[in-house]
Amino acid sequence: MAPPPRFLNIEDRPADFLLLEHHLRQHGLDAECRRVDSYEKLDAALDGGHWDLVISDFSLPGAAFQQMLARLKERLRARPARRLPR
């Protein structure tokens, strides 16, 4: 059996993260989800292994989205990055 997909969620609000987790499970996707809310935690998560999907909030206190996206692109060179409209 294949391991569950790993989703990294860049989100400052724990309630929004829990809502995402609940929605995924409600629709049958038993993914391993992890929330980070700072550059330091993002780097630690990226150092901790492979992520199948990174989902990011556009607005994080103390972090600029464009800088966060640049950091992701630098660290995950083989992965495409897309910004989805609200």
Residue 32 lies in a domain: yes
* Res 24: pLDDT: 92
Domain range enclosing 45 = 8-75
42-80 pLDDT tens trace: 889 999 888 888 888 777 777 777 787 888 888 777 565
Residue 45 lies in a domain: yes
Cβ atoms 59, 10 nearer than 8 A: no
Q: How many domains does the chain have?
A: 1
Residue 81 lies in a domain: no
**Residue 39 corresponds to which tokens in the numbers above?**
């550059």
7-54 pLDDT tens trace: 999 888 999 999 999 999 999 998 999 999 888 898 899 998 888 888
* Res 58: pLDDT: 77
Question: Vertex 76, ends 70 and 16: CA angle to 5°?
Answer: 70
* Res 26: pLDDT: 95
